[in-house]
């Protein structure tokens, strides 16, 4: 469904060039859920933005649903691929009602039956119709993230890019959103590409993952390997140990960057 080959993304020019992504390749099958894991600066979000078309400056090859993609994307591409952002406070327009937020993609793609689609989208993400004419500032973080998911799904895409979708949420709300995403994926056969730093969320959501460090993929593994702790690269092992909480041994083992 998604195929990325030798992806390179750089920022700046000349001597100031920062190679944020250095020759990254991976593929995600149809209906699969794949995670890019790494810490800040690893390039994981940059890969996501290149695939989504938000950042047009990259080289290499990106194909979505078998179609090779250039820097500009077609309207059909946007209907197939949607994204959910990290910060539910920044991803909804502060002066638009939920109704308008959901009506816009329907209008852009001339899908028609806006009323019916909006009602269904709200019901699908577990929000009642009472939320339809509210503004984002009247909603909690979890409710906003549900609206963002509804906005992404109202076009009935096949691929969903998830950029740290729960890292800004409380534990109990995170559980609700993760459950919702799992359910929607099962119901619709969606393909997920998840970017996160949280290995527990990866295990909860994905079948396979790639660990990124310094713009490169250092290890690709299955969620089963992750559960069993079968890591090959020392950096992955370090991430895994750190995700289990604090211990003097874990802290002492951290390789100084």
Partner 1 sequence: MTAAANRPAGLRAWLREEAPSSRLQANLVQLYAGWRALRRNPLAMIGLAIILVLLAVAALAPWIAPFDPLHQDLANRLTPPGGAHPLGTDDLGRDILSRILHGARITLTIVVLVAVAVAPLGLAIGCLAGYFGGWVDSVLMRITDVFMAFPRLILALAFVAALGPGIENAVLAIAITNWPPYARIARAETLTIRRSDFIAAARLQGASSLGIIWGHVVPLTISSVIVRVTLDMAGIILIAAGLGFLGLGAQPPSPEWGAMIAGGRKYILDQWWVATMPGIAICVVSLGFNLLGDGLRDVLDPKQR
Partner 2 sequence: MTATPLLEVEDLRVRFHTDSRTVEAVRGISFALGREKLGIVGESGSGKSQTGRAILRLTPPSAEVTARRLAFDGIDLLAATPRAMRRIRGARISMVMQDPKFSLNPVMTVGEQIAEAHRVHRRAGRREAREKALEMLDAVRIRDPRRVYDLYPHEVSGGMGQRVMIAMMLVPDPDLLIADEPTSALDVTVQMQVLAILDDLVSRRGMGLIFISHDLDLVASFCDRVLVMYGGQIVETCRGGALHEASHPYTRGLLAALPQVDRPPRDLPVIARDPAWLLPLPPEGRP
Q: Is 196 in the site for partner 1 (CB under 8 A)?
A: no
Among partner 1, partner 2, none, partner that 155 touches (CB below 5 to 8 angstroms by kind): partner 1
133 binds partner 1 (CB under 8 A): yes
64-83: contacts with partner 1 (CB under 8 A):
73, 75, 77-79, 81-83
The entry of partner 2, partner 1, none near residue 109 (CB within 5 to 8 angstroms by kind) is partner 1
Q: Is 205 in the site for partner 2 (CB under 8 A)?
A: yes
| Integer Cα distance of 35 and 195 in angstroms | 6
One DSSP character per residue, 37-73 reads E--TTSSHHHHHHHHHTS----EEEEEETTEEE-SS-
Q: How far is the CB of 136 from partner 1 (least distance, A)?
A: 9
- 237 lies in the binding site for partner 2 (CB under 8 A): no
Closest to partner 2 by CB, 10 or 41? 41
Select the span of 23-31, 94-102, 111-119, 166-174 touching partner 2 (CB under 8 A): 166-174
Binding to partner 1 by residue 158, rule CB under 8 A? no
- Among residues 152, 242, 229, 233, the alpha carbon closest in space to that of 193 is found at 152
Query: What is the C-alpha to C-alpha distance for residues 50 and 44, in angstroms, rounded to an integer?
Result: 10
Interface region with partner 2, contact rule CB under 8 A, candidates 5-13, 109-117, 152-160, 223-231: 223-231
Which of 51, 195 has the CB closer to partner 2?
A: 195
Residue 138 binds which entry of partner 2, partner 1, none, with Cβ cut-offs from 5 to 8 Å by kind? partner 1
Q: How many residues bind partner 1 (CB under 8 A)?
A: 39
Size of the site for partner 2 (CB under 8 A): 42
> CB–CB of 106/90 below 8 Å?
no
Residue 25 or 97: the one with the smaller Cβ distance to partner 1 is 97
Query: Do the beta carbons of residue 157 and residue 82 sit within 8 Å?
Result: yes
Residue from 203, 216, 233, 237 touching partner 2 (CB under 8 A): that is 203
Contact window for partner 1 (CB under 8 A) among 47-55, 177-185, 202-210, 227-235: 47-55
- In the complex with partner 1, the residue whose CB is nearer, 33 or 45, is 45
Q: Which two tokens stand for residue 78?
A: 């946007």
Query: Using a CB cutoff of 8 Å and minimum separation of 24, what contacts does 40-45 make?
Result: 40/197, 41/214, 42/212, 42/213, 42/214, 42/215, 43/9, 43/212, 43/214, 43/215, 43/216, 44/195, 44/212, 45/163, 45/164, 45/195
Comparison of 129 and 222: residue with beta carbon closer to partner 1: 129
Q: How far is residue 161's CA from residue 82's CA, in Å, rounded to a whole number?
A: 6
Q: Whole-number minimum distance, CB 132 to partner 2, in Å?
A: 23
Q: How many residues are listed for the chain in this entry?
A: 257
The number of beta carbons lying within 10 Å of the beta carbon of residue 214 is 16
Residue of 128, 171, 172, 169 whose CA lies nearest to 150: 128
């Amino acid at each position: 469904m998604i195929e990325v080959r030798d992806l390179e993304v750089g920022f700046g020019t000349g001597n100031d060039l920062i190679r944020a992504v250095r020759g990254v390749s991976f593929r995600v099958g149809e209906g699969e859920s794949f995670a890019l894991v790494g810490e800040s600066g690893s390039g994981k979000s940059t890969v996501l933005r290149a695939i989504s078309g938000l950042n047009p400056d990259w080289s290499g090859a990106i194909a979505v649903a078998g179609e090779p993609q250039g820097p500009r994307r077609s309207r059909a591409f946007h209907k197939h691929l949607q994204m959910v952002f990290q910060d539910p406070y920044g991803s909804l327009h502060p002066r638009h009602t939920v109704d308008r937020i959901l009506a816009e993609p329907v209008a852009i793609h001339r899908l028609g039956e806006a009323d019916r689609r909006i009602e269904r989208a709200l019901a699908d993400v577990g929000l009642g119709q009472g939320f339809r004419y509210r503004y984002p500032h009247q909603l909690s973080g979890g409710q906003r993230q549900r609206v963002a998911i509804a906005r992404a799904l109202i076009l009935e895409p096949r691929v969903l890019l998830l950029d740290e979708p729960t890292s800004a949420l409380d534990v109990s709300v995170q559980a609700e959103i993760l459950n919702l995403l799992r359910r929607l994926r099962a119901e619709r056969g969606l393909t997920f590409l998840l970017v996160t730093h949280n290995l527990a969320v990866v295990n909860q959501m994905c079948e396979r993952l790639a660990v990124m460090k310094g713009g490169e993929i250092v290890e690709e593994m299955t969620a089963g390997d992750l559960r069993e702790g079968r890591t090959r690269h020392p950096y992955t092992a370090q991430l895994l140990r750190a995700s289990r909480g604090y211990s003097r041994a874990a802290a002492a083992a951290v390789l100084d960057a």
